[in-house]
Amino acid sequence: MKRIIAIDPGLEKSGAIIWDIDNPTSEQKHSIFYSNGQLENEQVFKCIIEHCTDETLVAIEWISSMGNVVGQDVFETILWIGQFVHFCKTVKLDCRLIPRMTIKYHHTGSRTAKDSNIAAAVREKWGEKGTKKNPGFFYGVVSHAWQAAAVAAFVVEGAESDRELVFPFSDIIELGQERPQPQKSLLTGAGGPDPLQ
């Protein structure tokens, strides 16, 4: 079973969703195993380690540069992203940082789409939230978990971008080994043209 742990990082809390593919315990090929729209950042590490499988990829929304002045909260969020990536490498999980602009364009075809537009586009492709009596594919998904769902859907749909950063756990080095050069993904945009090019 393949598993995507997707994270929409925030200053103090993050949205998280776990998307399973070919889950033998579910009647559906795809299923949402877990979602949390307001997960304390310190709990993200616990979420990853408790729910990872032999075939787990961690996908994190990466902040896109728009050329605007940003506040301190953005820099602190970037520090959290760095900690998430480092933790993934420590526990030997592959990690992808996917720019928000790329995710936005993939799902909506627009550079100016808002969170609600992105969530609506993802629901249109994968199913509605549903109700307690009649739960849909995204039942239980709230708040920032919708943006995490957009990250997961980007990966599940096979989309790629040369703007994303990929951190395979095999890059972990031992003392005395030559440090590998930082790399950007060499993947091409299977999900459509990259809006940042």
d(CA 117, CA 177): 47
First to last CA, the chain: 35
The residue behind tokens 């033998």 is: 24
- pLDDT by residue (tens digit) across 120-134? 999 999 999 999 999
Q: Which domains does the chain have, with CATH numbers?
A: 2-171 (3.30.420.10)
d(CA 167, CA 82): 11
The answer to whether 152 touches 6, Cβ cutoff 8 Å, is: yes
d(CA 188, CA 172): 25
Using CB atoms within 10 Å of the CB of residue 19, give its burial: 0 to 12 exposed, 13 to 18 middle, 19+ buried.
Answer: buried
The answer to whether 79 touches 26, Cβ cutoff 8 Å, is: no
- pLDDT by residue (tens digit) across 4-57? 999 999 999 999 999 999 876 677 789 999 999 999 999 999 999 999 988 999
Task: Choose among 144, 149, 98, 95: nearest CA to 123.
Answer: 149
- pLDDT by residue (tens digit) across 185-195? 333 333 444 44
